[in-house]
Amino acid sequence: MENKIKPGLTGEVRMTVSEKETAVVYESGSVPVFATPALIRFIEKAALLSVASYLEEGSTTVGTRVDVKHLAATPVGMEVVVTTRLAEVTGKKLLFTVEARDRIDLICSGIHERFIVNTDRFVSKATGKLTK
């Protein structure tokens, strides 16, 4: 099914910023606004969801690069919409353009890269580090 993964696929995640997604909780800042690490979490989720149903059984995607500008602060209680668009497919490499908006501003833009991997082999290689 991987050959069905073509540029143009889109993903979207809608969420309302809660206290648990703030820079204070993530320890990435001292202000109670939507944290950049939390934003990246939702970017990765939207990208994963956009291609998940096209993957072969036993495969998944893993994030390998995030390059975004966090352009505006979003307060607790405001909805954020994260969208991804698959821009390029090169073998197993997937490159997405990403953006996020609250109801006032474009709060983020950039790119996100993922690779298609065999889930069992990937986990085995990672856990194999424990025995070295």
Catalytic site includes residue 112: no
Cα separation of 66 and 75, whole Å?
23
Which one is catalytic: 10, 36, 60, 119?
36
Number of H helices, E strands in the chain: 3, 5
Which one is catalytic: 60, 70, 99, 119?
70
Going by DSSP bridges, is the β-strand pair 93-101/79-90 parallel, antiparallel, or unpaired?
antiparallel
Cα separation of 4 and 51, whole Å?
9
Catalytic site includes residue 113: no
User: What is the rounded radius of gyration, in angstroms, for the C-alpha atoms of the chain?
Assistant: 16
Which one is catalytic: 19, 21, 22, 44?
44
Catalytic site includes residue 44: yes
> Hey, CA dihedral for 51, 55, 58, 62, is it positive or negative?
negative
Catalytic (active-site) positions: 36, 44, 70
